[in-house]
Structure 1
């Protein structure tokens, strides 16, 4: 790490182990104080640098930082462009900006066939070209839309989900702004592409790298800050996710053990489904383990187990208690995640309750629920491919919940991993990604083994 980067890194904010002349250790700051210190450091760095990078673990307040920084920059009187990766992310930001900065005019660039959702009606000027918007203080659009905007140069830009943005998309919009804040989660899924990128591997401008990877490679002195607290993950999950997927830039939970509770108001029937749900409510995790077997990708038994768990969960009328108060866990606060779209379709067809979100890891990224039920990417497989071993995929699936996560998998995944050790091709000039999927899977499975509930044998 270069001296410039080292000076700019704000990490976990651990207290000095000793006071003056070896005195007693200082008390560690509260999560809120620690997080606020990093945010203030980010805002202070903005006017002093051409670019600032902020790494955010799951649920660390990335969107909150983007909205706060947008208001901070808008207050200077200079216009600001915000780059997001999907239309849904753009709309979410517009809602947040309108709610938290009601006096700041916002514009939304969109495609001609864009259907305006009801939640942003009246919150932003909407148009297909910049002149259609008037002169708002903040304009938000996807990276693909900004690539065709042109016409002016902006003093400031904020790039949201910057680790999920391909570098070729950054290249297309980089000429539009002078200074930028890049915010994203380095531990989740890499930018998606259907093109094989081996031909560019090792090149400093590899178009399939993330925007942040190329940015920091060409600008090694940019300050890099790290948000240190996850406000989404409970105390039962933050250490697991941190150690498995963020081994060198760890984070902690914003809540203490026992501060969040999940309970059921309807009695169970002592089925294996009930036992798994009760284990998840008690400890935050459960592994619903089916017998070891090699299966097709849409494993009928695993699909049925996922659907049955979601159904049984809602039948038991769960209630979530947290720092936000007490509220029932409705279908809209439950998600089911899988690796493939055909698995998602099979789970939906199996009878998941209406209102429960069922989707792939790619599409669940950035979203939050009270309870999640996950079909493990390696369940029932004969091999461990690069797709299924990608650490970001499991990270997304295991980090969407505020209270509990139930993982459905067939026995034998640790043995599968041992039979298929990580052996990716080493490319010259390509930084090695840590942790690799093999190591991350082993770490998560080791923890889940303590919360295993065996599926009941078929009758």
Structure 2
């Protein structure tokens, strides 16, 4: 694959003057919009919280102004609803169609917009300027084509799904995060490894292997991650492209309105509030996957966080950190169920990395995928999983883990089989885990205090 063109670094300085994050991001977005009419396809790589949805909405409005109809492809119903809502809010006069499955129940936030129509069949939508649906739904539309398509979360879309809908559009914009989880598949993909059309690879990977001349832009600024987190996530998961935070250290802070009791939980939360990170490290031990101590620690940290009355201060103003702005992430569904059963308030989100992808919170608590394990499997070493878990927060992230993970990594070096014709994926999960743990070690709190 040829090296894609780099726009983020090219606009970082103009005549020797450093650009602000806002100027740098705007320059890249401008370059993307300028490239759209000149190419059959444009790819935009985005780090966590860099404004993928904002770009999709802006590009959709830009295309709609030309008078040409547009189709938008997302990967889940929640992503579709989010895009419909944002597009309807920013373009209230734009007719929008939400194509849905037969059992879909339209949420109130979609019904609130008079410019949005919802239907299970394309003719029932009328003739909206923009039609939005999941990739799975678009696969059943075969009697019409669009001049333009925007594919959101394109790195989480399998290439076989792109193949099923590729005949529906002429030009396209692909937007996604290359550092997060690969497309999900229950089928073993080894039989296709090395083939340029590998159906379980991401849509973007296969697209660029067959069209290496397509322009690739990179959004250079994360508006979600604070200045304490952007360098850590960038170095660990985006080592060759990088990005920076849109805010400085002084722009955000997290304070508690209720004094602590000097417990180890309080100390961990205070460390996270002060530095943006905390590692709540339990004693080294091999455990079952639903480690009772680790599960309890994650639940108690979340409850104690609410009890301390946290208030977040940022460029958006000040607001209490309610339960709805807190998330607990884990690698497995049984761990999620155990944490939920440990007494976590219902309003706090508790979910796997796969389902937390694309979402944002003020504070996150993470059960490390390698905590208490005897081995380091490919699933638990996948860099995208840890990237998702450690990049959902605007203010602070607390990682719960047992001691001994660095030693586990040393005992299980990355030894995935090398397959001919398969592009090497960066970053390596082994290296990414080491980089994150090296940083977390500076913010360690143990139960003994």
Superposition TM-score, scaled by structure 2 size: 0.98
Is it true that 1:215 corresponds to 2:207 in the alignment?
yes
- Give the counterpart of 1:360 among 352, 356, 359: 352
Q: How does 1:304-323 map to 2 (within 5 A)?
A: 304-323=296-315
Q: Provide the residue aligned with 2:75 in structure 1.
A: 85
Determine the structure 2 residue equivalent to 1:303. 295
Q: 1:95 aligns with which of 85, 104, 125?
A: 85
Tell me the equivalent position of 2:439. 447
* Structure 1 residues not aligned, in runs of 5+: 20-25
Aligned position for 1:23: none
RMSD (CA atoms): 1.1
Instruction: Show CA shifts across 1:402-436 (max 9, x none).
Output: 00000000000000000000000101010111111
Deviation digits for residues 37-69 of structure 1 (CA, Å, limit 9, x no counterpart) = 000000000000000000000000000000000
Match of 1:61 among 51, 73, 93: 51
1:20-419 matches, cutoff 5 A? 26-123=16-113, 124-419=116-411
Instruction: Give the SS at the match of 1:35.
Output: helix
Q: Per-residue CA shift, 1:107-156, capped at 9, x if unaligned?
A: 01111111111110143111111100000000000000000012111000
Q: How many residues align?
A: 447
Distance, in Å, in 1 between the alignment partners of 2:221 and 2:108 is: 33
* TM superposition shift of 1:257: 1.3
Structure 2 regions of 5+ residues with no counterpart? none
Pick from 12, 31, 46 the counterpart of residue 9 of structure 2: 12
Give the whole-Å Cα distance in 2 for the aligned partners of 1:57 and 1:281.
Answer: 23
Q: 1:28 Cα deviation (Å)? A: 1.1
Matched residues in 2 for 1:380 and 1:433: separation?
27
What is the CA–CA distance in structure 2 between the aligned matches of 1:47 and 1:453, rounded to whole Å?
54
Q: Residues 376-413 of structure 1, C-alpha deviation per residue, up to 9 Å, x if partnerless?
A: 00000000000000000000000000000000000000
Aligned equivalents of 1:409, 1:175: Cα separation in 2:
47
Deviation at 1:265, TM superposition (A): 0.1
Residue matched to 1:428: 420
- C-alpha separation in 2, matches of 1:192 and 1:283: 34
Q: TM-score, normalised by structure 1?
A: 0.96
Contact 2:12–2:24, Cα closer than 8 Å, also in 1: no
**Alpha-carbon shift at residue 13 of structure 1 (Å):** 4.1
Contact map agreement 2:13 2:19 (CA 8 A) in 1:
no
Deviations 1:258-284 (A, max 9, x none): 210000000000000000000000000
Q: How far, CA to CA, are the matches of 1:52 and 1:122 in structure 2?
A: 33
**Is the CA contact 1:259–1:323 (under 8 Å) kept in the aligned structure 2?**
yes
Cα pair distance change 1:39/1:421, threshold 3 Å: same
